[in-house]
Amino acid sequence: MNLLKNHPILNVMKVFLVVILSLLSIQNVNGRKHHKHHHGQIFEYSAISCCRTHTASLTDFGGVGDGVTSNTKAFQAAIDHLGQFGSYGGGSLLYVPPGKWLTGSFNLTSYFTLFLHQDAVLLATQDENEWAVIDPLPSYGRGRDADGGRYISLIFGTNLTDVVITGNNGTIDGQGAPWWDKFHKGELKYTRPYLLEIMYSTNIQISNLTFINSPSWNVHPIYSSNIIIQGITILAPVRSPNTDGINPDVCMFDKINISNSGTVLSCLASGKEESLKVQPMEPLSYIILQ
Ligand SMILES: *[C@@H]1O[C@H](CO)[C@@H](O)[C@H](O)[C@H]1NC(C)=O
Ligand SMILES: *[C@@H]1O[C@H](CO)[C@@H](O)[C@H](O)[C@H]1NC(C)=O
Ligand SMILES: *[C@@H]1O[C@H](CO)[C@@H](O)[C@H](O)[C@H]1NC(C)=O
Ligand SMILES: *[C@@H]1O[C@H](CO)[C@@H](O)[C@H](O)[C@H]1NC(C)=O
Ligand SMILES: *[C@@H]1O[C@H](CO)[C@@H](O)[C@H](O)[C@H]1NC(C)=O
């Protein structure tokens, strides 16, 4: 966000945040609502590779990890296929092997794990035409970089439950340089994409991954609840514009115990600002950053 733009330290950040064991008591920013979580609502995030019955590799769907071939169709075909199983047998997992996997945006599904090998690198396509334009966020009402819509995020999920995005510290590379350039020159037609956006979802884990060179924000959970974020490294050049780390948005935190959290807290402040402009949406009701 703008708060971060001129802060060199925050743009190169490592987010290894402390364990939060206690239930968080959540309060709406404007104090009108008060919402507490109950024990029964806590989700156990054990569904890493061990627990998903249906597994597939990106290569089963024609994926080519040469850094040049587009894997957009392979990702979407794999996820569409695995999504058919729903929660049956514990859901499904898509494995991304070592390699450089050039791709456009793809959509996640429920009861699903995306797992990146430590030598797997997702390379976000730099071809602007490959990025679908979607509506602005309801609580923002307009794009951030330009009026109107916004480019969909590289990894996008909406109306989902039980999703794990993880790996052995595999990498998601936004290849953001052309976007930053356009931003500086005022040439953006729509708001830049994020690397990972989760909307209207619950029971989400984002862990053990490295995000680099995002066109804009990195991880953007919004209108969602029960989210665990841990073991995430986020890197971008000091001068890259708006490459915030984690922006929990439309967020109503009362208590949260985070260390090394300058970025997250700035984002929280900013999210609050934006969300106050318009009618309140369903808040992020529970989040753990580790
Ligand atoms: C992903 O979901 C968004 C929003 O529902 C939609 O606009 C977009 O077309 C979907 N992308 C694909 C590849 O299906
Ligand atoms: C997703 O959830 C939101 C909020 O509940 C709802 O307005 C929207 O229609 C849902 N979208 C889909 C595709 O189900
Ligand atoms: C993950 O990779 C990043 C980038 O190479 C590195 O900075 C970080 O220390 C790694 N994290 C772990 C837990 O190995
Ligand atoms: C992260 O990786 C470490 C080391 O491989 C593993 O012990 C841990 O369970 C992983 N955590 C998550 C949440 O994926
Ligand atoms: C936050 O967590 C850290 C590490 O677990 C702990 O040392 C500290 O006392 C906690 N702070 C608060 C205010 O709960």
Chain-centroid distance of CA 196 in Å reads 3
Dihedrals φ, ψ of 173, to 5°? -105, 115
Q: Ligand 5 in contact with 20 (CB < 6 A)?
A: no
Q: Which residues contact 138 (CB under 8 A, 6 or more apart)?
A: 278, 281
Q: What is the pLDDT of residue 195?
A: 96
Reported as a single tens digit per residue, the pLDDT across 212-243 is: 899 988 888 887 777 777 777 888 777 777 77
Higher pLDDT pick, 256 / 225? 225
pTM of the model: 0.77
Reported as a single tens digit per residue, the pLDDT across 148-205 is: 889 999 999 999 999 999 999 999 999 999 999 999 999 999 999 999 999 888 888 8
- Name the residue at shortest CA distance from atom 14 of ligand 5: 257
Q: Which atom of ligand 3 is nearest to the CA of 212?
A: 4
| Domains observed in the chain | 35-276 (2.160.20.10)
Share the mean pLDDT of the chain. 73
Residue 146, classed as helix, strand or coil, is: coil
Residue 64 clears pLDDT 70, i.e. is over it: yes
Residue 273 clears pLDDT 80, i.e. is over it: no
Q: Ligand 4 in contact with 30 (CB < 6 A)?
A: no
CA dihedral 130, 131, 133, 137 (to 10 degrees): 170
Please compute the mean of the pLDDT values over residues 127-136 and round it to a whole number: 92
Reported as a single tens digit per residue, the pLDDT across 7-51 is: 333 333 333 222 222 222 222 222 222 223 333 334 445 544 457
Please compute the mean of the pLDDT values over residues 122-134 and round it to a whole number: 95
Provide the pLDDT confidence category of residue 83 given band limits of 50, 70 and 90. very high
Higher pLDDT pick, 150 / 263? 150
Radius of gyration of the CA atoms of the chain, in A: 18
Mutate to test the pocket of ligand 4, among 163, 207, 229 (most ligand atoms within 8 A of CB): 207
Q: What is the pLDDT of residue 140?
A: 63
Dihedrals φ, ψ of 204, to 5°? -125, 135
Q: What is the pLDDT of residue 40?
A: 35
Cα–ligand 1 centroid distance for 107 (angstroms): 6
- Name the residue at shortest CA distance from atom 8 of ligand 2: 159
Q: What is the pLDDT of residue 141?
A: 62
- Name the residue at shortest CA distance from atom 10 of ligand 4: 208
Least confident of 29-33, 74-78, 283-287: 29-33
Q: Which atom of ligand 1 is nearest to the CA of 105?
A: 13
Give the whole-angstrom CA distance, residue 1 versus residue 3: 5
Cα–ligand 5 centroid distance for 19 (angstroms): 9
Pocket of ligand 1 (CB under 6 A): 76, 106-107, 132, 134, 156, 158
Residue 261 clears pLDDT 80, i.e. is over it: no
Nearest Cα residue to 226 out of 34, 41, 47: 41
Higher pLDDT pick, 88 / 67? 67
Provide the pLDDT confidence category of residue 270 given band limits of 50, 70 and 90. very low
Give the whole-angstrom CA distance, residue 14 versus residue 207: 13
Measured between its terminal Cα atoms, the distance across the chain in Å is 22
Assigned token pair, 221 = 């959970």
DSSP 129: G
Please compute the mean of the pLDDT values over residues 237-250 and round it to a whole number: 70
Residue 69 clears pLDDT 50, i.e. is over it: yes
Least confident of 46-55, 113-122, 251-260, 278-287: 251-260
Please compute the mean of the pLDDT values over residues 261-270 and round it to a whole number: 39
Give the whole-angstrom CA distance, residue 96 versus residue 102: 12
Provide the pLDDT confidence category of residue 265 given band limits of 50, 70 and 90. very low
